[in-house]
Amino acid sequence: MAETAPRGRFITLEGGEGAGKSTQARRLASWLAERGIDCLQTREPGGSPGAEQIRALLVTGEPGRWDAATEALLMNAARRDHVVRTIRPALAAGRWVICDRFLDSTLVYQGYAGGVPAATLQALIAAAVDGTRPDLTLVLDLAPDRGLERAQGGKYGTETRFERKGEAFHAAVRDGFRRIAEQEPGRCAIVDAGQPEDAVAADIAAAVSERLGVPP
């Protein structure tokens, strides 16, 4: 009887705009590959063909295009497709999955900053992920003004809807991520994203080594 591959590990990167999640996700995937670990790198909203179509609705247009409750519904519709078609099959095949944003972004953007009740969001998330949750969440912490300055200097094209939601919104986003990390220290590790890129990558590697047993 053929042996099945052990389940892969699921790592998510979270944080506000311009925190460097995409860059650090790429660096983490390369670091793991150097240690013989096969990784799938993905993102939210998106990560599957259907979810990418929903992403276009969420990240473009005017900030007031959708209210927070509608965003939460769209986010979790995209998440369900992403989990079923991309994340879960990769984990079942023994691959590690590195995801730029996941369920914590919904709790923060639509909940802490958007005002949707936590119970509503938890119910939507539970239906979308059906038990698929991160083994480790890396929270890239950065002051909102620095993050927005970085983001506005990047090549984001038309995907600026959330960036334009205002200073108070982004302050609430940072606070929300920090609160989640404090509430779930076993799953979450806060990383100072204001450091140089190499230092951030080193801190992430150290956290992955410590939490998931990867050789340094």
Architecture in CATH of 10-211:
3-Layer(aba) Sandwich (3.40)
HSE of 116, CA atoms in CB hemisphere, 13 A: 23
Write the DSSP string, 85-146: IIIHHHHHTT-EEEEES-HHHIIIIIIITT---HHHHHHHHHHHHTT---SEEEEEE--HHH
The ranges assigned to domains in the chain are 10-211
Give me the pLDDT at residue 4, please: 61
Residue reference for tokens 């240690």:
35
Q: CA 189, CA 14: separation in Å to the nearest integer?
A: 10
Q: CA 33, CA 53: separation in Å to the nearest integer?
A: 30
Q: Tens of pLDDT along the chain (216 residues)?
A: 445 668 899 999 999 999 999 999 999 999 999 999 999 999 999 999 999 999 999 999 999 999 999 999 999 999 999 999 999 999 999 999 999 999 999 999 999 999 999 999 999 999 999 999 999 999 999 999 898 887 776 555 568 899 899 899 999 999 999 999 999 999 999 999 999 999 999 999 999 999 999 999
Cα–Cα nearest to 162, from 54, 65, 46: 65
206, 215 Cβ separation under 8 angstroms: no
pTM: 0.94
Give me the pLDDT at residue 5, please: 66
**H-helix or E-strand containing 15?**
strand 10-15
Give me the pLDDT at residue 66, please: 96
